[in-house]
Every structure is written in structure tokens, then in C-alpha cells.
Amino acid sequence: MANSMAILTDAFPVSQRGTALGINQVAALAGSFMGLLIGRLLADTNWRAVFLVSVPVGLFGTVWGYLKLREVGQRGTRGRIDWAGNLTFGVGLIAVLVGITYGIQPYGGHTMGWTSPLVLALLGGGLVLLALFLVVERRSDDPLFHLDLFRIRAFSAGNLAGCWPRSAAAASSSC
């Protein structure tokens, strides 16, 4: 799902791009909803049965993509890996997510662990690293993510809209 829009943008001409992207969004929403229903039915029978469906579908998609998709983009110069951006973003995001995970678990005499020193350190450290990521990306010659894209109103609005939960089924696939 993460690369589908980029692949469709490359694969379809401008005149058909809107249709292709629209069908992709409908399929993603339908898949999210049907996945919840089918997963629930399979889990009621045997929770391991979920893997009997998802693993073959994932393997089929991987093999099909490897055999059918071709690189059509052209690049003038080969970019370098933004190690500082990758590390600050990856470690920062992991720290925040682990902090949230431990924050919702009991700690001491509390029903939740938001006062735990570990949780506070993970959340604080993760946020500092994510802020550092923004600084690193602004100074990088080959950034992990071009932050200037957010100056484009349509890009920013589209990303914000993609994060907004549309329904219970779609909420699981949103940001």
C-alpha cells in the first residue's frame, strides 16, 4: 500500500491517472473492511487460519510484482543514502511507539504507565530525535524526505485527509 500511488503514477498516463488512483483507494478501503470481517470469521474458527489467507496473498503479490513491474522512472544522478536521516527518523519513531506501548500498560500503583521514567524517557528522546530529523533533512543534499513538499497545499491537504479516520474499518489503515 505504501508504494501503490507512486507505482500507479508511473504506470498510467496523465489522462488515466485519476481513475487508477481512485480505484486504488476504493480497493484499499474495501480491503480494509473485508479484511476485518474475514479476519474475525477466521479468528472465531482458529486464529491461525488468518495466516492461511494472508501469507499466500502476500506471497502472490510479491512474486507478481517482481515478475510484472518494471522500472520506468529515469534518474539523472544516483542519490546517496541519508544515513543521518534514516537513523534519526527510525530510532525516533521506534522510541515514541515503544513509549506509547509501555505508556498504556500498568506501572506501579497506576492503571497506566504514563508516569514511568522509561516511558517519559522514550517519548522525550523520541520526540527530540524526530525534531533532529527535521533539522537533518533540511541540511541534507539527498534527504530521506523532501520537507518542501509540505509547502504545496494539495500535498499537505491530501496527507492530512489520508490521516483522518473515515470509518472503523478505514481507521486501521490510516496514519
Angle between helices 117-139 and 83-103 (to 10 degrees): 160
Inside any domain, residue 138: no
Grouping H, G, I as helix, E, B as strand and the rest as coil, residue 52 is helix
Inside any domain, residue 91: no
Contact 36, 48 (CB under 8 A): no
pLDDT digits (tens, 9 = 90+) for 39-51: 888 888 888 888 8
Q: Nearest to residue 165, comparing CAs of 56, 47, 41, 29?
A: 29
Residues 6+ positions from 78 with CB-CB distance below 8 Å: none
pLDDT of residue 5: 84
Residues 6+ positions from 17 with CB-CB distance below 8 Å: 8, 9
pLDDT of residue 164: 72
Inside any domain, residue 23: yes
pTM: 0.62
Mean pLDDT throughout 148-175?
71
Inside any domain, residue 44: yes
Grouping H, G, I as helix, E, B as strand and the rest as coil, residue 32 is helix
Q: Nearest to residue 66, comparing CAs of 7, 6, 144, 5?
A: 7
Q: Answer yes or no: is pLDDT of 82 > 70.
A: yes
Q: Within 10 A of 122 (CB to CB), how many other CB atoms are there?
A: 21
Inside any domain, residue 42: yes
Domains contained in the chain, number: 1
Count the residues in the chain: 175
Inside any domain, residue 102: no
Q: Answer yes or no: is pLDDT of 169 > 50.
A: no
Cα–Cα distance, 159 to 7 (Å, whole number): 17
Band of pLDDT at residue 83, cut at 50, 70 and 90: very high
Range of the domain at 64: 1-74
pLDDT of residue 114: 94
Inside any domain, residue 80: no
pLDDT digits (tens, 9 = 90+) for 101-147: 999 999 988 899 999 999 999 999 999 999 999 999 999 988 988 88
